[in-house]
Amino acid sequence: MTNSRPLILAHGGAGLRRLTPTQAACLADALVIGYAILEQGGPALIAVECTIGLLEQSGLFNAGRGANRQLDGVQRMDAAIMEGAHLKAGAVASTEGLVHPITAARLVMEDTNHVLLVGPPATRFAQHCQLELLPRARPPRRSSARSARAATQTLRLYRAMLKSKRTRKDRYGTVGAVALDRSGTVAAGASTGGIDSMLPGRVGDSPLIGCGVYADNQSGAVSMTGMGEGIIRLVIAKSICDHLVMGKSPAVAARQVLHMLVSRIRGSAGALVLSPDGRFAIRHVTPHMAAGWWNGAGQPTVRGQFP
C-alpha cells in the first residue's frame, strides 16, 4: 500500500486584487484544517471539501457567503469536486442561497448517479440534504410581462457596462484546493460565485469537470481560478493533467498550458497543480493569486504572488 506524504494546496482566486492580511490568515487556517484530515489518514476528497468549506464560510472570497451577485441581484453559485482513484466527480451550477456548494457537489457525487445538477433543482437537492442556507429575502413574484421587461433591462445594463468598461474586477476570488493523501490518491475541488457583471444564468469553469477541476491518480490534480470563459474553451484542468501524463513536471505543465491560454485567446487564470508523487506548482498569468500550501512542516505558506 502506498504511504505518501500528505500535502494540501488552496487558492482564493487570481486577478488584479492583492491578498489582504485577513484573507491570508483565512487561507492558512483552511490549509491547517485540510492537512489535519490528511495527517490522520483521511481521504484527499474530504480534505479538499473541508478546506474549501472554511473559505466558503468566511465570506472573504467569491464563494459561499461572499459570492458575487448576478445582474438581477441574485447570488448563484457553482462548485465541483473530483477524486483520482476512481474518477468520481460531482458538481452543482447556478445554485442559490447555499453556504457550502462544495458539499452539495460531493453529495451529487456520492448520493446520485449523476455528475452535474443545475439551477433550482440543484438548490432543492441541497435543501433536501439539509445543507446550511444563507438568509435572504425572496424576490417578489413578477408577471410574465414584468419579467420580460426586467430581462430586457438587465441585458441593456450588461451591454452598457461592457461598452463603458465600467464593469468591476475581482471583488473577491474563486476558491479551490487540491490534496494528496497517505494512500496516494489525489483530489481537486473549486467553488465560486462567478465573476462581476454576470448575466443571470451565467456559468463558468468551476463546475465543469476537466475545465475548472480535474483529478486522476495516473496524472495529478488541478484546481483553476480566473476568467472561466477562457478556461472552458481550452479545457485547462484536463489539458494540464495530459501534460503531466507525458512526463512534464507540474511547473512546466502549468506554464505551458497557461501560456497557450494567453497566446491563443488572451485568457487570464491561475492554477494549483499537484502530481501523485507529491510535486506541485502554483502558477498564474494574472498580477496576483491568493494561494498557499502545507505539508505539515513549519507553518503553512501563503502568498499573493507566485513565480
Q: Which residues are catalytic?
A: 174
- H helices of the chain, where? 21-39, 44-58, 101-111, 119-128, 144-164, 228-233, 236-245, 250-265
Cell numbers placing 110:
456520492
In the 8-state DSSP scheme, what is residue 133?
Answer: B
Q: DSSP letter at 66?
A: G
Residue (of 172, 191, 222) closest to 54 by Cα position: 191
Supply the DSSP string of 269-302, one letter for each residue: EEEEEE-TTS-EEEEESSSEEEEEEE-SSSS-EE
* Phi, psi (degrees; rounded to nearest 5) at 177: -160, 155
Contacts of 109 (CB under 8 A, 6+ apart): 81, 82, 88, 89, 90, 115
Rounded CA-CA distance 66/64 in Å is: 5
Dihedral (Cα; 46, 69, 206, 234), 10-degree rounding: -170
C-alpha distances (whole Å) from 179 to each of 107, 147, 171, 239 are: 19, 44, 27, 19
